[in-house]
Structure 1
Amino acid sequence: MRVCIEFSPSGPVAVPAQYNHAVQGAIYRCLSPDFRSELHDLGFGTSGRRFKLFTFSRLIGEFRRQGPLMIFRGPVRLWVSSPVSRFITELVNGLISAGRISLLGQELPVSSVEVRERPELGAEAVVRTLSPITVYSTLLTPDGRKKTYYYSPFEEEFAELLEANLKRKAGALLGDGATGGVDVSPVGRPREVYCTFKGTVIRGWVGRFVMRGDPRLIEIGYEAGLGAKNSAGFGMVEVVDGD
């Protein structure tokens, strides 16, 4: 499921271009204290890497650049998605109860909250990014230092790591690994973007992609996000026509 939240601020809203951490914090504050701590500290999964299993879009609305800031005027929308029903329920209840969120010291009144069920997805889906997809490995340099390498959609490892990531998410969500596979390929030329999250520069890609394979993995990618760092606002997609 996913939630479309619309805010109607009374005046302009100024945010830095790298606002993901602030939005993530606003989402967490909508959750009950117990669930917030459980999600933040533990996440989902039985062994190995654990996942938060939610993702969110970039802020959507009319804005202009003013130095390092983005100045939004008028309605602002945010999409949040998760395959975990409790997360969606707590988020919606928190938004309705508070009636607003605080974003970098600015109060944004909530004008509408709309919950949308996942569409029927088969063995193929063309999607468009609502936030950048990032795929990376942590490598060791010859002198023993750790180095993060970000893959492009035109490298084989991009699709391989996306598939492995989706299988691990399936295990965390369903308690078993998916037996099928999935391939995620770019449609056209995705655009490279750089984002900063908590001081770390992250390389990602925006554009259209086609997912082919196990419908269960495609559904998890749609709801939990594609690639890494989903709970930091990466990897959210929406289904579009393939034309």
Structure 2
Amino acid sequence: MRLELTLRPTRGRYKIPINYNYPLSSVFYRIFSYGSPEFATWLHDNGFINQKGKPLKLFNFSRIFFSNYKIDGNCILASGQIKIVFSSPLGDSIIPAFINGILNTRTITIANNEIGAKFKIHNVIKIDPPTFLRDMKYLALNPIISSIVKENESGKKIIHFLRPEEPELTFQLKKNLLEKYLLIYKEKYNELIHLKLDRDYIDKVGGFSKITKLITIKEGEKTETKVKGFICPVEISASQKMQKIVYDCGLGERNSMGFGMVDLIRTKQSSP
């Protein structure tokens, strides 16, 4: 289920950090806390545990859609209202908790340690879902992230963010979807699933380097880290239930940090 939030700034012109994923994720946890502090703490510290013991938050959000903006170094200078899409497959728990939080939220602040802006929630509407077919093509609304743990030259284990040209990327993206499917539906996915990046798009924009994005998390803090992802149309062939997972949860990792949200581009002619 998806909700579209319209926020209005408290000032005519404002400035927010260009690396706003972490600040915006913090905003959503704060909204949860306004509705239920206990639920917000549990979701942040624990979440939904899959069979491998890995916690998943099972919510996602889009990039910010600005009315007017320009990039100025590490800042976004903007004016006018903004829109953000919030999504979760759990319409009986996360969505109600989020809505309850919104009802108790007066203003929100999107900021890091140096710059930021305050907004008032002007409107929230439910977005009608698309018709899910076996073959669908999606546009990434923010970077898609997938990683593996590997050893470097000194034998130390490190997180390696998969580049879009690496063959293992699609395997890991499918593996992630299977884990989400099992956690949400409480059953294994036993059908075929095919996933591929739009190579025509990649060639058109100038190659893999043009779709690769580097994002800073907790910018300016001692725990600052960088993650690498990509933005590219993705074609997926899978069951309707799996397509709903893609739409509601997002692709790849760190969805609750605002990564991997997709929207429908078009559907091919196919039987449901």
Match 1:56 to one of 58, 61, 70: 61
Mapped to 2, the partners of 1:13 and 1:181 lie a distance apart of: 48
Q: State the TM-score, normalized to the length of structure 1.
A: 0.93
Counterpart of 2:120? 109
1:8 counterpart SS class:
strand
Letter in 1 for 2:108: I
Larger radius of gyration: 2
Mapped to 1, the partners of 2:240 and 2:5 lie a distance apart of: 27
2:48 counterpart SS class:
coil
Q: Provide the aligned C-alpha RMSD in A.
A: 1.8
Is 1:36 equivalent to 2:61 in the alignment? no
Mapped to 2, the partners of 1:222 and 1:182 lie a distance apart of: 15
Q: State the TM-score, normalized to the length of structure 2.
A: 0.84
Q: Is the contact made by 1:95 and 1:101 (CA closer than 8 Å) also made in structure 2? A: no
Counterpart of 1:163? 174
Is 1:194 equivalent to 2:214 in the alignment? yes
1:1-243 matched pairs, under 5 angstroms? 1-9=1-9, 10-31=11-32, 32-48=36-52, 49-61=54-66, 62-85=68-91, 86-104=93-111, 106-187=117-198, 188-189=201-202, 191-198=211-218, 199-241=224-266
Moved more, 222-231 or 93-102: 93-102
Moved more, 124-133 or 207-216: 207-216
The alpha-carbon deviation at position 66 of structure 1 amounts to 2.3
Q: Which runs of 5+ in 1 are unaligned?
A: none
Q: Percent identity of the aligned residues?
A: 26
Q: Is the contact made by 1:118 and 1:223 (CA closer than 8 Å) also made in structure 2? A: no
1:153 counterpart SS class:
coil
Q: Is the contact made by 1:124 and 1:211 (CA closer than 8 Å) also made in structure 2? A: yes
CA pair 180-45 structure 1, distance change in 2 beyond 3 A: farther
2:259 counterpart SS class:
coil
Q: Is the contact made by 2:141 and 2:263 (CA closer than 8 Å) also made in structure 1? A: yes
Aligned length: 243
